[in-house]
Homo-oligomer: A and B are copies of this chain.
Amino acid sequence: MINAVGRELPEKIGSYVVKPFLGTGLAKDDYGPVVSNRRPTLKPASGTKLVATLEDAIKASGLQDGMTISFHHCFREGDKIIGQVLTAIRNLGIKNLRFAPSAVVNVKNPSVVEFVKDGTISRIEASGIRGELGDAVINGDIELDEPVILRPHGARPRAIESGDLKIDVAFLGASAADEYGNATGQVGPNACGSMGYAFVDALNAAKVVIVTDNLVDYPCCPISISQQYVDFVVKVDEIGDPAKIGAGAARMTKNPRDLMIAQYTANAIAASRRFKDGFSFQTGAGAIPIAITNFLAEKMEEREIKASFALGGIPAAIIDMYEKGLVRVVACSQSFDAVAAKAIAANPGVIEIDNAVYSNIYAKGCMLDRLNFGVLGALEIDTDFNINILTGSSGEMMGGLGGGPDVADGADISVVTLPLVRGRTPSVVPKVFTLCTPGSSVAMVVTEAGIALNPAHKRYEELKEDLAAAGIKTVTIEYLCELARSIVGTPKPIETTDRVVAVVEYRDGTVIDVIRHLKR
């Protein structure tokens, strides 16, 4: 069958029944009351939930072959929890698990691939499987009976609360926790800041294990994850590498191309009628977003306007705006650096939010639906404004879905920023290799070679008018595509077999694309 964005999909992959993507705004309230898998239990007879080792916690949790385990990815590339837990599970001989973290970051030593190869893991569901694991899946180095399910941040809470993804045991890392399970990422030597991706797991997993390297006196304060959701607590030597969890504030980029893209983006945003006192935005992390944030801050100071809120994964640049009085509330679903991680405990207006309220389409209205401006990165964009944020120029797994598809859909004005070409690879193409975010939800794309508005976007007329009034010239997406081609030529098409190895879900749980084995 063919879905609403023209992708050909099988009806079933393994046991996964494909519901084709029907278009944005067509999501229906198609399941009944929220289904929690949480198992209420009585207080521990011992008076403590502390167990000596990860093996003890795993045994006590009742984890068995074929069950589902989850993790959050708030420690990012610095995570040392997933490796330790999977090793302990392997030591206990438990097999065929469904591995369902909020995202798989590129952790090594050990890599998740090893645990797939030895049969500990036989199914994978996450927002991304960037790096070694993704490459192994897409290259056929590992073979799974079921497709990997890739879900954007907003689709994971939906999957969990609808019962599609029932978690048996969640292993949640925390940089501070007490023996009764109250836990946070806001304090401690390995602070990650917001534990936004852990809440839906804590509320809905049958059993919850807190893994910390920093056991504090009862009660832990602040409390992000409440003891009422926690069964066991384990202290390990180290939950992460602080340098990789939260590096210092990113400096402003000096790359002229990135600065140009950022300046164009800030100019376009500032030209919008929605850029006024009380507006809201999400810019994200990375060189271009940080520069955009800084440029926007300058424009806000010039115009003497203040934002009502900044949202999402938060870097130091946004905390800086808060401290300057340019943003009233900073709602952090994730903290991208050490400055942002520490800012939550220190500032009443910098708040930790649950990923479900950040992005879940079925959450009675999530926060990103209230965004005026959402800035998105991309690996590729095509002439229909469809975005690829997963696969690179050779089809390799380069990114995760993250919240991009959600933000594009929720924000009044979604802006994709990317360089026209990367090395010998065009970024603006006739057709994206993997379709992650439907073009209809993308308002404009900004490159160093110009800004293109999407005529199919609901705010097209408004944006066109506002940009014209500000004297900002635009180009067509076809122009950008042709320009990219003229610079680097047409890349050799990526060849795949028919075997589907991953499905790309949209935020409503429908399938927007699939990923096939690469031909070798």
Contacts and interface: CB of A to CB of B under 8 A. Distances in A.
A1 interface: no
A161 interface: yes
B39 A329 contact: no
Contacts of A349: 221
Contact of A40 (B29, B38, B41, B219): B29
Interface string A345-379: 10011010110110011111111011000000000
Contacts of A37: 33
B329 A228 contact: no
Nearest to A31: B40
Interface in A324-360: 328-329, 331, 345, 348-349, 351, 353-354, 356-357, 360
Interface in A199-252: 206, 208, 217-219, 221-223, 226-231
Contacts of A39: 29, 32-34
A342 to B, nearest CB: 13
Interface string A123-151: 00000000000000000000000000000
Interface string A30-69: 0111111111111110000100000000000000000000
A278 B217 contact: yes
A267 interface: no
Nearest to A45: B25
B365 A181 contact: yes
Nearest to A357: B228
Nearest to A365: B43
Task: Report the interface size class on chain A.
Answer: 35 or more
A221 B362 CA distance: 23
Given A180-B370, A221-B351, A364 B36 contact: no
A27 interface: yes
A40 B361 CA distance: 9
Contacts of A161: 40
Contacts of A218: 308-309, 370
A328 B41 CA distance: 28
Nearest to A180: B365
A223 B367 CA distance: 13
Contacts of A227: 357, 363-367
A367 B364 CA distance: 30
Given A278-B217, A356-B228, A34 B40 contact: yes
10 contacts: A33-B206, A34-B39, A40-B362, A180-B365, A221-B348, A222-B351, A227-B363, A227-B366, A228-B354, A345-B348
Given A40-B162, A228-B364, A230-B364, 16 more contacts: A33-B38, A34-B39, A36-B36, A40-B158, A40-B360, A40-B362, A181-B364, A218-B308, A218-B309, A219-B308, A221-B351, A226-B353, A227-B363, A228-B357, A228-B365, A228-B366
Interface of A: 27-29, 31-44, 49, 158, 161-162, 180-181, 206, 208, 217-219, 221-223, 226-231, 278, 308-309, 328-329, 331, 345, 348-349, 351, 353-354, 356-357, 360-367, 369-370
